[in-house]
């Protein structure tokens, strides 16, 4: 009898923990993505913008301004909520006419030279909302 009661309690604890984990995975990303503008000149920042970050140039494959590299250098938090990108001359990325491959706060930013009708990519800088 003691074994049966213990088994029921143990099963209830496990099921509760699994259900809570699933609820976190199901609800958090959807709310996060759909409730706000997360990139571009109109990106919403409820925290504070970092300084502008420019770790790469357009040589080679293109201009790569990845979140992981900026975070590794301590220039940005690990989970920013928004990103803005502009050329080093201050033109917003979405107004340059270039095809931008990534422009989001989850990966960062990159422009690939051979995706452009007139390569190379311009030199971009990014900032994140933390």
The only residue of 63, 80, 86, 110 in contact with Ca ion, by rule CB under 5 A: 63
Give least dist CB 47 to Ca ion, A. 23
Main-chain phi, psi angles of 53, to 5 degrees: -120, 130
Give the interface segment with Ca ion, choosing from 7-15, 44-52, 55-63, 91-99 (CB under 5 A). 55-63
DSSP H/E element including 10: helix 2-34
Whole-angstrom distance, CA of residue 92 vs CA of residue 55:
17
Does 69 sit near Ca ion (CB under 5 A)?
no
Q: Residue 107 Cβ, how far from Ca ion at the closest point, in Å?
A: 15
Cβ–Cβ < 8 Å for 84, 54: no
CB of 88 to Ca ion, least distance (A): 7
- Rounded Cα distance between 106 and 53, Å, is 16
**β-strands 62-66, 124-129 pairing:** unpaired
Sole binder of Ca ion in the list 77, 113, 123, 130 (CB under 5 A): 123
Residues forming the site for Ca ion (CB under 5 A): 54, 56, 63, 123-124
């Amino acid at each position: 009898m003691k074994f049966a009661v213990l088994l029921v309690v143990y099963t209830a604890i496990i099921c509760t923990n699994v259900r809570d984990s699933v609820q976190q995975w199901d609800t958090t990303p959807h709310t996060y993505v759909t409730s706000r503008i997360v990139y571009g000149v109109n990106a919403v920042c409820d925290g504070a913008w970092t300084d502008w970050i420019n770790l790469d140039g357009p040589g080679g494959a293109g201009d790569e301004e990845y979140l992981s590299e900026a975070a590794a250098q301590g220039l940005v938090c690990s989970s920013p909520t928004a990103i803005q990108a502009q050329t080093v001359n201050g033109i917003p990325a979405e107004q340059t006419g270039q095809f931008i491959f990534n422009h989001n706060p989850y990966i960062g930013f990159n422009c690939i030279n051979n995706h452009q009708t007139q390569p190379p990519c311009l030199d971009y800088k990014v900032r994140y909302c933390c």
